[in-house]
Amino acid sequence: MRTPIVAGNWKMNTSLAEGVALAQGIVSELNIARLGKADVVLAPPFTHLYRVAEIMANKPKLHLAGQNCHAAESGAFTGEVAAGMLRSLGASYVILGHSERRQLFGETDAGVAEKVEAALAQNLRPIVCVGEKLEEREADEQEIVVQKQLTQACFGLSEDDFRRVVLAYEPVWAIGTGKTASPEQAQEIHALLRKAVAKRYSDAVAENTSILYGGSVKPSNAEELFDQPDIDGGLIGGASLKVEDFLAIVYALPVARR
Ligand code: PEP
């Protein structure tokens, strides 16, 4: 069975002191016993990872993630961070192909595919983001767009490698905008992604692939999204910066509800 996951993407937010307080709040208030088979992932800025790793040390079910990595193992890439560096400080996940990386920093599907391989080679689980822009949704092209992103970023992988990939459907028009895809809209794309995985690999691989929804998830809409049969959790931006909101979203996972 696939793992339900709630991942917090802090983006370029918080000073170190604020980030430490946020991580400490989450670690001290999270009721791990409620998580069951679910995992919680925190993706702070690179500068905070070492401290947040210390705060999360030895906490089962809590995982650290980078928000990006470079495809190369090392070298003359000023300002970049390698997958092995993330692994060396305790990260076990890395977010790749986030729409902000694609839109603001020119990342391509081919580039994301290289990063996915680099992450897997360092034993990091990539959280690979796909999603259509507003104009693509308006032109009813969302299915073609996400299918192409998934195919190009992931379908060159062997089955064994793909099994370690987490997917995130993040419609660009819903990220940080307060607009959320309706549960039906999100479910439709999640089902399509799962079907594409089944076709490329197998039904068993598709059944075991965690597919997260991202785009203005908040405590008030998390349950109805997470109730959809192909939505296995969330990638959370804005609402991951408040302990109370983030934990309310974690507890909206069906496995964690009281
Ligand atoms: C994100 O950055 O991945 C995201 C989903 O952001 P928000 O929750 O703020 O829309």
SS3 for 84-153 is HHHHHCCCCEEEECCHHHHHHHCCCHHHHHHHHHHHHHCCCEEEEEECCCHHHHHCCCHHHHHHHHHHHH
- The residue to mutate among 236, 240, 245, 250, having the most atoms of ligand 1 within 8 angstroms of its beta carbon, is 236
Would you say the CB of residue 210 lies under 6 angstroms from ligand 1?
Answer: no
Task: Look up 170 and say whether it is catalytic.
Answer: yes
Token pair listed for 214: 């991202």
Tell me the percentage of the chain whose pLDDT exceeds 70: 100
Q: What spacing in Å lies between the alpha carbon of 250 and ligand 1's midpoint?
A: 15
**Atom of ligand 1 minimally distant from the CA of 239:** 8
Token pair listed for 162: 């793909």
Average pLDDT over every residue of 106-121: 98
Average pLDDT over every residue of 177-196: 94
Q: How far apart are CA 178 and CA 87, in angstroms?
A: 33
Torsion, Cα of 55, 99, 198, 213 (10° steps): 60
Token pair listed for 83: 């997958």
For residue range 33-57, list pLDDT tens digits in order. 999 999 999 999 999 999 999 999 9
Q: What spacing in Å lies between the alpha carbon of 160 and ligand 1's midpoint?
A: 29
Among residues 48, 132, 170, 190, the one annotated as catalytic is 170
pLDDT band, residue 258 (cuts 50/70/90): confident
The CATH superfamily of 5-250 is: Aldolase class I (3.20.20.70)
Cβ atoms of 43 and 246 closer than 8 Å: no
pLDDT of 1 higher than 90: no
Tell me the percentage of the chain whose pLDDT exceeds 90: 97
Average pLDDT over every residue of 15-21: 98
Would you say the CB of residue 214 lies under 6 angstroms from ligand 1?
Answer: yes
Q: How far apart are CA 136 and CA 72, in angstroms?
A: 32
Domain residue extents for the chain: 5-250
Would you say the CB of residue 44 lies under 6 angstroms from ligand 1?
Answer: no
Token pair listed for 14: 């918080």
**Atom of ligand 1 minimally distant from the CA of 240:** 8
Residue 93 has a pLDDT of 98
Average pLDDT, the chain: 97
Tokens 């081919």, located at residue: 110
DSSP state of 254: G
Task: Look up 80 and say whether it is catalytic.
Answer: no
> Angle at CA 190, nearest 5°, toward 100 and 37?
95
Cross-strand pairs, 39: 5
Q: How far apart are CA 22 and CA 148, in angstroms?
A: 36
pLDDT of 183 higher than 90: yes
Cβ atoms of 101 and 109 closer than 8 Å: no
Average pLDDT over every residue of 182-211: 98
- The 10 Å Cβ neighbour count of residue 74 is 10
pLDDT band, residue 20 (cuts 50/70/90): very high
- The residue to mutate among 101, 175, 218, 220, having the most atoms of ligand 1 within 8 angstroms of its beta carbon, is 175
For residue range 125-156, list pLDDT tens digits in order. 999 999 999 999 999 999 999 999 999 999 99
Residue among 36, 6, 14 nearest 248 (CA): 6
pLDDT band, residue 15 (cuts 50/70/90): very high
Cβ atoms of 130 and 165 closer than 8 Å: no
Q: Whose CA is nearest to atom 4 of ligand 1?
A: 237
**Atom of ligand 1 minimally distant from the CA of 100:** 2
pLDDT of 86 higher than 90: yes
